[in-house]
Structure 1
Amino acid sequence: MTEVLDRASSPTIPKPNLKVVLPGLMLAILLAMLDNMIVGTAMPRIVGELGGLDKLSWVVTAYVLGTTISTPIWGKLGDLYGRKTIFLTSIVIFLIGSALSGAAGEIDPASGMTQLIAFRALQGLGGGGLMVGAMAIIGDLVPPRERGKYQGMMAAIMGVAMIAGPFIGGFITDHADWRWAFYINLPLGGVGLFVLATTLHLPKYRTEHRIDWIGAALLSVGVTALVLITTWGGSKYAWGSKEIIGLAVAGVLLLGVFLWTQTRVPEPILPLGIFRNRNFSLVSIIGFMVGFAMFGAISFLPLYMQTVQGASATNSGLLLLPMMAGMMVTSVVAGRTITKTGKYRIFPILGGVVLAVSMFLLTRLDTDTSRTESSIYILLLGIGMGFLMQTTMLIAQNSVDRKDLGVSSSTATFVRSIGGSFGVSLFGAVFINRLKDDIAANVPAGAGSSMGSINIGALQPTQLDALPPAVKQIVIHGISFATSGLFWWALGFAILVPVAAWFIKEVPLRGAEPAAEGAEGEAELRPLVAID
């Protein structure tokens, strides 16, 4: 139990303290986002060296799944035990996972890919607390009406990470060992830990310390079972096989029991009551769709650029710059506009429309698509993401009581991550199946023996030039065909985003102006006190 001053009579947190804390939070967000973008451009080289193209989705899925299952746990732990300690702990776990991921395969090369997948999962467990912790801390320090400006600043840092990440990852891949894509997190994380440990002071609350560990276990195993269905279905096992059916039954049953337990435990890890708020439910749906379309499809863009378009790892990072620039600019503009006007409903609608248009255009990728053309498509993708990412988090936080601020942040991040988990795993299976089918359909008579000597799963982009011209063209066409097909799947989910956003209700943001009592489950934002 922790003594605190009465919230209603406490002064607001001083502005100087907020200015000192912000750099530390920005470093944490930079840490999480930079890692994702660096690894993305290095991924083709990593999977080529350690195991193969057919395992590319697993390296991504392991991290996203670790993030997904840990996000609601970090949010609840922060609500119960204080966000600072929990936030710093998540950074430490993330750094340990980074160090181990960089060392994967050093001792036992034969199991290098298995090690990397396991260590990426550990890294994801820590990463689940980085973004949700930073956003929840901003929610503690800043009232919703002013939060758009600060979340816009956070989005700008994310944009900087997204711009620098692909370039740094490509440069590391081309000129150094890919392991530094993970090791680079260590000095950044060390600085972030120091800054936050010495400058971050948050309000502390009196609360009962209870964690729903049974619920956490049910959620983790249930989600993992469903992700394995999308990963293995149609590739390792037939869709109607006993393994896939068994996973489906287990996943549905475990998640059903999880939902049942959440209505009966005193401190549920996922309070179902927050979904009674229409806005919160809608942005949760939007978050799932965005995560599915964005994480699933974007994971394969660097591979397309390095193989079909012939870009180096460094240049493939540069080719992603339009997406990062579009996201950064629109996030800042949206954040400042929301702070100035208090209006936000239009942004997720616009973002959804632009996202759907970009996904449709990306279905046109083929072997003849120029880099300029693909850059325009990717720019539109970034603009759509910029309108959606921070705005949906703001709406989620504004839709719940103060006591559920952490869990609202974690739930919003959770549904986006779970969408990404399903997207990455499903797209990985679809990609491999379409690649193999297209190659098989285009192999000329009598060329089967020469194709059979090539291990497509272990082929690295740099090895394409060593292939006979006819064989190289078949492989490149297969990768192009497989990549464009992913965006048809992403388009189906992206179309639902503006539809759901249309039904969002414009509830006044709390903070700078009096809140409307009782509106959509809103609770008045009371000032807080910072306590050492």
Structure 2
Amino acid sequence: MGEPPATQMNHRQILEALSGLLLVLFVAMLSGTVVSTALPKIIGALDGTQGQYTWVVTATLLTATASTPIWGKLSDLFSKKALIQIAILIFAAGSVLSGVAQDAGQLIAARAFQGLGVGGLQALVQVAIAAMIPPRERGRYNGYLGGVMALATVGGPLLGGVIVDSWLGWRWCFFIGVPVAILAFFVLQKTLRLPVMRRKVKIDYLGAALIAAGVSLLLIWVSFVDHEFDWISWQSGAMVAGSVLLLGFAVLVESRAAEPVVPLPIVRQRTTALAIIASLAVGMAMFGGSVFLGQYFQIGRGYTPTEAGLMTIPMMAGVLGSSIIIGRLVSKTGKVKPYIVGGAIVLVIGMLGLSFIDHETSLIYLGAAMFAVGVGVGSTMQNLVLAVQNTVRLKDIGAASSSIAFFRSLGGAVGVSVLGAVLANRVTENITRDLTAMGVPADSSQGSGSLNLNALPPAIEHIVRAAYGDATGRIFLIGAAIAVIGVIAAIFLKPAPLRTSLDVPEPATAAATAASAADASPMADVEILPPGAGDGLREPSRR
């Protein structure tokens, strides 16, 4: 027998369910953007270093990246609604732990735990939407997604800046997401109703652990190389070789696992593989831009956190406008590739524009470059997921969607680590050079260590700020080079029209073959439960 057809929801039911999902997406994105402008003050208050600054962001991205494939696979097997609610609870607990951290190390650990929930929310919202809305109509609803993303991205830095500049203090940058998460939990309980497929399964925990370990070791090496040890050293050799071995073993395990967390047959498909490459570039631009632009405006230019939040509005306006407009055009035309290619090109232009900035760059020029980056991200991010979802069966939506989210988060984690390491080294070089010219010992600046600039003498503080402002352009030049790879991948995407059905229609011959081999079909072990009947995480039915 073939796969039972999915029941499509009407427009009202979709909007009701979408309200809770959008709230979930909002709280997940807010967790990153609300601290982007506040992070310099947070790390300063905790007497942290530039390396710890980077890891406060990287820790969340890393655990979100490692857990995303597991969440996606579980969503193909269990109740999507229950999984989303579990992810919300993990996220809320991580937010509270982050808010009560007493030093930078505790904050990094709490943010890593919070990332487990963020990974679930990022993957599962896409999965739930794909289970409700056909690809051709999804572009229309992606406009709502883009609006929420822009609101979280614009409102987050502003909110974070206002909080740290007010009597509330920086800890409320983390506490603020808890009531929103609780509200989302109950909204979803009332509105989200999806059918549940239950199968006999085995979760590939070994593969997930190997992927997480391999990526973690690689990011740790990137963070410390050329600072704690040389590029050519036994430490570098051990870390790189260890990462390659772990990831190679992970590929071997995934190729043999009955239920791999990253299904290689799907990843090897042309559309999925190219979308993954492009997503790496988009992830690096999205996370790197928000993290280091906030630091640039505050440390490099001397603006307050609130002012720094206002400065990033052009980029978020680009995300909002392009997401809404491009989403409607995708639904109207049924084509997605031209908009992905165009968005990827605009992203490169924006990154190149930011590569020329220093501590005295015109704000008008900065705004134009940031707007271009926003347009590029808004035009590509959701549409890359849509392009992949359009080519896979409904039963594989979770694994396919989470694979794209996985590599986008991986791109963000690698991007933040690499760009953060480049920035730290460049800043140290600039500070050392300028202090030497003044006849002051370089270690007097604390510039490559503590970010608590209020403790520095005025002359040295000026040197540190100029060093950060002048060094930031270098990291965006690297970003532009990586974004070019995204353009090439987008160009080679197959221009497939978006389908109007929830599932991939089976050819008559394939359907006949499936009917004659019903007993051998994987669907023989599948039980389809009606919407609302599988809200709890029970064991899969054994039939």
State the TM-score, normalizing by the size of structure 1. Answer: 0.92
Secondary structure of 1:283's aligned partner: helix
Match of 1:312 among 283, 304, 311: 304
- Structure 2 partner of 1:501: 490
1:203 aligns with 2:198: no
Distance 1:528 1:321 in 2: 45
- What CA RMSD, in Å, does the superposition of the two structures yield over aligned residues? 2.3
Q: Which residue of 2 aligns with 1:438?
A: 430
- Separation in 2, partners of 1:418, 1:514: 28
Match of 1:44 in 2: 40
Equivalent positions of 1:450-529 (< 5 A) are 452-456=443-447, 457-460=449-452, 463=454, 467-469=457-459, 471-511=460-500
Shift of 1:115: 0.5
Q: SS where residue 364 of structure 1 aligns? A: coil
* 2-structure distance, mates of 1:40, 1:48: 14
Q: How has the CA–CA distance of structure 1 residues 445 and 134 changed in structure 2, closer, same or farther, with 3 Å as cutoff?
A: closer
**8 Å CA contact 1:290, 1:419 repeated in 2:** yes
Matched, 1:301 2:297: no
- C-alpha displacement at 1:497, in angstroms? 1.5
1:108 maps to which residue? none
Give, in angstroms, the shift of residue 143 of structure 1. 0.8
Distance 1:69 1:512, change over 3 A: closer
- Look up the SS of the partner of 1:288 in the other structure: helix
Specify whether residues 10 and 454 from structure 1 end up closer, same or farther in structure 2 by C-alpha distance, changes over 3 A only: closer
Contact 1:68–1:414 (8 Å) recurs in 2: yes
Q: Which amino acid aligns with 2:484?
A: I
CA offsets 1:78-99 (integer angstroms, 9 cap, x no match): 1111211111111110110000
Q: Which runs of 5+ in 2 are unaligned?
A: 511-527, 534-543
CA drift of 1:249 comes to 1.1
Alpha-carbon offset, residue 330 of structure 1: 0.5
* Gap regions ≥5 residues in structure 1: 106-111, 522-526
Shift of residue 509, structure 1, vs aligned partner: 1.3
CA contact (8 A) 2:8 2:133 kept: no
Counterpart contact for 1:348–1:387, Cα < 8 Å: yes
| 1:349 and 2:341 are equivalent in the alignment | yes
Secondary structure of 2:34's counterpart equals helix
Q: What is residue 256 of structure 1 aligned with on the other side? A: 248
How far does residue 198 in structure 1 lie from its aligned partner after superposition? 2.0
Q: Structure 2 CA distance, aligned partners of 1:232 and 1:445?
A: 27
Letter in 1 for 2:14: L
* SS, match of residue 39 in structure 1: coil
3-state SS in 1 of match to 2:36: helix
**Residues 244 and 329 of structure 1: CA distance in aligned 2, closer, same or farther (over 3 Å):** same
CA contact (8 A) 2:394 2:503 kept: no
> How far does residue 477 in structure 1 lie from its aligned partner after superposition?
2.3
Provide the C-alpha distance between the structure 1 equivalents of 2:256 and 2:114, rounded to a whole number of angstroms.
32
How far apart, CA to CA, are the structure 2 residues paired with 1:407 and 1:60? 25
Q: Which residue type is aligned with residue 299 of structure 1?
A: V
> For each residue in 1:19-40, what CA deviation from the matched residue of structure 2 results, as whole angstroms up to 9, or x when unmatched?
2111100100000111111110
Question: d(CA) in 2 for partners of 1:303 and 1:489?
Answer: 18
SS state of the match for residue 206, structure 1? strand
Deviation at 1:9, TM superposition (A): 5.7
Matched residue SS, 1:186? helix
Does residue 103 (structure 1) correspond to residue 96 (structure 2)? The answer is no
Q: 1:28 aligns with which of 12, 18, 24?
A: 24
Match of 1:146 in 2: 137
Q: Write the distance in 2 (CA, Å) between the matches of 1:269 and 1:512.
A: 26
| Structure 1 counterpart of 2:157, from 141, 166, 172 | 166
**Matched-pair contact (CA < 8 Å) for 1:215–1:261:** yes
Tell me, in whole angstroms, the C-alpha distance in 1 between the residues paired with 2:239 and 2:313: 39
Report the secondary structure of 1:81's partner residue. coil
Distance in 2 (alpha carbons) for counterparts of 1:354 and 1:10: 38
Partner of 2:301, secondary structure, is coil
Local SS of the residue matching 1:438: helix
Alignment of 1:180-191 (within 5 A): 180-191=172-183
Q: Which residue of 2 aligns with 1:524?
A: none
Q: Post-superposition shift, 1:101? A: 0.3
Note if 1:157 corresponds to 2:157: no
Determine if the alignment matches structure 1 residue 71 to structure 2 residue 63.
no
Quick one: structure 1 residues 243 and 529, their matched pair in 2 at CA, closer, same or farther if it must change by over 3 Å? Answer: same
* Secondary structure at 2:236 match in 1: helix
User: In structure 1, which of residues 319, 323, 337 is the aligned counterpart of residue 315 of structure 2?
Assistant: 323
Q: Quick check: 1:61–1:424 contact (8 Å CA) kept in 2?
A: yes
1:127 correspondence with 2:118: yes
- Does residue 1:393 correspond to 2:394, yes or no? no
Contact kept? 1:323, 1:378, Cα under 8 Å: yes
SS at match of 2:260: coil
Moved more, 500-509 or 126-135: 500-509
Aligned amino acid, residue 507 of structure 1 = A
The verdict on how the C-alpha distance between 1:154 and 1:403 changes in structure 2, with shifts beyond 3 A counting, is same
Equivalent pairs, count: 514
Could you give the per-residue CA deviations for residues 178-217 of structure 1, whole angstroms, max 9, x where no partner exists? Answer: 0100000111011000111122111111311310111111
1:491 positional shift? 1.1
Q: 1:10–1:528: 8 Å Cα contact kept in structure 2?
A: no
Q: CA deviation at 1:131?
A: 1.4
Contact 2:163 2:172 in 1 (8 A): yes
